[in-house]
């Protein structure tokens, strides 16, 4: 069973549901209604609770939104086939339902991809983007990397799901208190749900990338110093260097110490400190 940290939703948030394209999208909001909104978007197979350590740090100063993305947590069934574009439309639909014109988007892993797709679709509605253990959606990949990613799905279909769950829990976090939450969240997604989500993610990985796409709002790039997921430890620093070289985007790049892929859970104190510093610099209240 998950520890008390993840046994329930962080205090101070009210739950809502938006029925959209075959999926009941569950989301939670709280904080001052006149403050800038920070939308925290979880990684693949996780759910809104992965930000339980960030919500208390933000909620007195910022309006906060967390959600269970389509096919995750309580947002079941997945409904339409999962794609990053549809997930971005889901977030925009939630903002519309709440009457929110602009938001600061902070995403972990998959959530960072979704945040960038929201910006790609509606840049005028995004005040800033923060990513934790995620990559630039404009990045092209080698033909070998694309082929390996496409091959991963049939391999994962053959893999006993219980073993897969345990492997993910071991690799994504260093914290023994976090691992029971990770296992529970992945089990909620289930093997079919994971296959649908992973298929949608792999469609966004190509040898062409998105030429010409860039982010022109304040950008925070972070990842754990022991993140071994994909090419994050290799490519996140390259992304930061490219943004600095272009000189168009206010950038903060931080490596979170003593942390793996779910870095905000492994080292919440450091994560909260840099997140609040970045928000305070660009979106003071």
> Is a pLDDT exceeding 80 seen at residue 116?
yes
Residue 230: the pLDDT is: 87
* pLDDT average, residue stretch 57-70: 98
User: How far apart, in whole angstroms, are the C-alpha atoms of residue 276 and residue 177?
Assistant: 24
Burial of 39 (0-12, 13-18, 19+ CB in 10 A): buried
Lowest mean per-residue pLDDT among 35-39, 138-142, 258-262: 138-142
CATH superfamily label, 14-282: Alpha/Beta hydrolase fold, catalytic domain (3.40.50.1820)
Q: Model-level pTM? A: 0.96
* pLDDT average, residue stretch 236-263: 96
Residue 49: the pLDDT is: 98
> Is a pLDDT exceeding 80 seen at residue 85?
yes
Structure confidence at residue 141 as a pLDDT band (50, 70, 90): confident
Q: Per-residue DSSP letters for the chain?
A: ---TTTSSPPTT-EEEEEEETTEEEEEEEES-TTSPEEEEE--TT--GGGGTTTHHHHTTTSEEEEEE-TTSTTS-S--SPP-HHHHHHHHHHHHHHTT---EEEEEETHHHHHHHHHHHH-GGGEEEEEEES---TT----HHHHHHHHHHHHHHHHS-HHHHHHHHHHHH-S-TTTHHHHHHHHHHHHHHHHHHHHHHHHTT--SS--TT----S-EEEEEETT--STTHHHHHHHHHHHHHHH--S-EEEEEESS--SSHHHHSHHHHHHHHHHHHHHHS--
Residue 126: the pLDDT is: 98
């Amino acid at each position: 069973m998950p520890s008390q940290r993840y046994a329930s939703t962080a205090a101070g948030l009210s739950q809502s549901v938006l029925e959209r394209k075959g999926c009941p999208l569950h989301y939670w909001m709280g904080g001052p209604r006149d403050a800038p909104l920070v939308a925290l978007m979880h990684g693949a197979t996780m759910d809104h609770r992965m930000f339980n350590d960030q919500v208390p740090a933000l909620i007195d100063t910022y309006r906060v939104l967390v959600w269970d993305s389509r096919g995750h947590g309580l947002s079941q069934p997945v409904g339409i086939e999962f794609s990053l574009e549809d997930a971005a439309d889901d977030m925009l639909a939630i903002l519309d339902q709440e009457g929110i014109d602009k938001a600061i988007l902070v995403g972990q892993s998959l959530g960072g991809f979704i945040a960038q797709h929201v910006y790609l679709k509606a840049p005028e509605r995004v005040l800033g983007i923060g990513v934790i253990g995620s990559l630039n959606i404009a990045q092209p990949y080698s033909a070998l990397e694309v082929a390996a990613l496409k091959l991963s799905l049939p391999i994962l279909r053959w893999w006993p799901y219980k073993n897969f769950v345990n492997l993910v829990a071991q690799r994504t976090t260093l914290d023994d208190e976090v691992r029971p939450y990770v296992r529970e969240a992945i089990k909620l997604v289930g093997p079919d749900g994971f296959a649908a989500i992973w298929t949608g993610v792999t469609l966004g990985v190509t040898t062409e990338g998105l030429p010409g796409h860039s982010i022109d709002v304040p950008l925070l790039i972070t990842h754990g110093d022991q993140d071994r997921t994909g090419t994050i430890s290799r490519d996140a620093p390259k992304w930061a260097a490219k943004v600095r070289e272009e000189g168009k985007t206010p950038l903060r790049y931080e490596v979170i110490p003593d942390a793996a892929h779910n870095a905000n859970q492994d080292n919440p104190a450091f994560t909260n400190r840099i997140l609040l510093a970045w928000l305070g610099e660009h979106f003071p209240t």
